[in-house]
Amino acid sequence: MSHPAESAPSSLATPDSADWQLGQIVAQLREAREDWRSSHRRNLDRRARDLPSRTAVAQIIEALSGALFPMRLGPNDLRAEGEDFYVGHTLDAALTALLQQVRQELRYSARQQGAEDDRSDAEALGIVREFAATLPALRRLLDTDVLAAYQGDPAARSVDEVLLCYPGILAVIHHRIAHYLYQAGLPLLARIIAEIAHSATGIDIHPGARIGESFFIDHGTGVVIGETAIIGDRVRIYQAVTLGAKRFPADESGNLQKGQPRHPIVEDDVVIYAGATILGRVTIGQGSTIGGNVWLTRGVPAGSNVTQANLQSGVGSDC
C-alpha cells in the first residue's frame, strides 16, 4: 500500500517549487497603489509609516485596564503588597507607549493638512500628561458603571464577575478611554480603541458619543451608539439597541456633512430594551422606558412607556 503523500497528484506543487510570479504581482500592486494615490492627490512620504499601530494600541489598553483594576484585570500572581509598584510600573510603560502613538497620529494629521509637524512632540507630551492626570477620575467613573451592571443584573453574583466577564463593561472601559482621546483631538487613535472593543464584544460605540455615569449595557451584542449621541446618567440598554442617524445631510457637492448632531439624546434613568431602534436628533425624556423592538424617530416626554402596542395610539407616530 502506498503512503498517502506518495499518491498525491503530481500537479500539486510543494511550496519549495511554487512559482508565485511575485515580480509581476509586486509591480502590479505598486501600479495600483500609485494610481490610487494619484487620483486622490496623496503624496507618499518616503519616511517610515506614520500611522498608529492597532497592535500597539491594543497592548496599551490592556495595560491601562490592568493599572485601573490591578487586582481584577492585572496579572494572576499580583499580591496586594505589590499593587502600587505594579500600577506605577505598568502606567510608566503604557503611557510611554501611548505617547509614541499620539505622536504618530499628530504627525500623520499634520502631513495630511500640509502643515509642519515640528510641534507634534511637545503637543503629544501635553496630551498624554493630561490623560494620565485624569486616570483617578476615570477609575471612579468606571466604578459607577461596574456597580450599575452588578445592581442591574440579577444574574451577577459579584462585581468581580462583572469586570471579568461582562462584554458591556469591556466596551465601556474602552469607550471611556477612547472618548478622552477623541476630545483631545485624536480621532484615529480613539476609533482604533473603539473598534478593538467592537471586534471583541459586538458593541459599537463611536468614541464621540457622550455617556454619563452608571451606564450599563446588558448582554450587548449588536448595540450601536452613534458619534453625536448624548446619554445621561443611570441609563440601561440591552442587546441590539441602535441609537443612530435618521438621515445624512449632504453639502452642495453631494458630500456628506461631517460632525452634525444627528443621533439621539437619552436623558437620565432611561431603560431601552432589546432590539429598539431610535433614529435622529430626538430626545428620550428622563425616566422613560422604551420597549423591545420599538422603532422611534420622534422624541418622547419624560416618564414615557413606549411599546409596540402603544405606538399605534399616537406616541412616536412618526415611526
Instruction: Answer whether residue 317 shows pLDDT above 80.
Output: no
pLDDT at 145: 98
Domains and CATH numbers, the chain: 49-203 (1.10.3130.10), 222-319 (2.160.10.10)
User: What's the rounded Cα separation, in Å, for the pair 194 and 312?
Assistant: 37
- pLDDT at 2 exceeding the cut of 60: no
Q: What is the pLDDT of residue 253?
A: 74
Convert the pLDDT of each residue in 22-67 to its tens digit.
Answer: 999 999 999 999 998 888 777 655 555 678 999 999 999 999 999 9
* pLDDT surpasses 90 at 89: yes
Instruction: Give the DSSP letter string of 38-57.
Output: HHTTPPPP-SS--SPPHHHH
| Residue 153: per-residue pLDDT | 96
Distance CA 211, CA 237 (A): 12
| Contact by Cβ (8 Å): 233, 271 | no
**pLDDT number for residue 55:** 97
Given a cut of 60, whether residue 302 has pLDDT beyond it is yes
- Among 57-61, 78-82, 136-140, 238-242, the least confident range: 78-82
**Amino acid at the residue 15:** P
Predicted TM-score (pTM) of this structure:
0.86
Q: Tell whether the model's pLDDT for residue 17 goes beyond 70.
A: no
Share of residues in the chain with pLDDT > 90 (%): 76
> Which is higher by pLDDT, 38 or 184?
184
Contact 290, 284 (CB under 8 A): yes
Measuring CA to CA, how many Å separate 167 from each of 54, 59, 219? 20, 18, 7
pLDDT at position 254 over 80: no
CA distance 74 to 102: 24
Percent of the chain with pLDDT over 70: 89
159 burial level (CB within 10 Å; 0-12, 13-18, 19+): middle
pLDDT the model gives residue 314: 58
Read off the pLDDT of each residue in 94-105 and give the average, rounded to a whole number.
96
Q: Among 112-126, 139-153, 202-216, which stretch is predicted with the lowest mean pLDDT?
A: 112-126
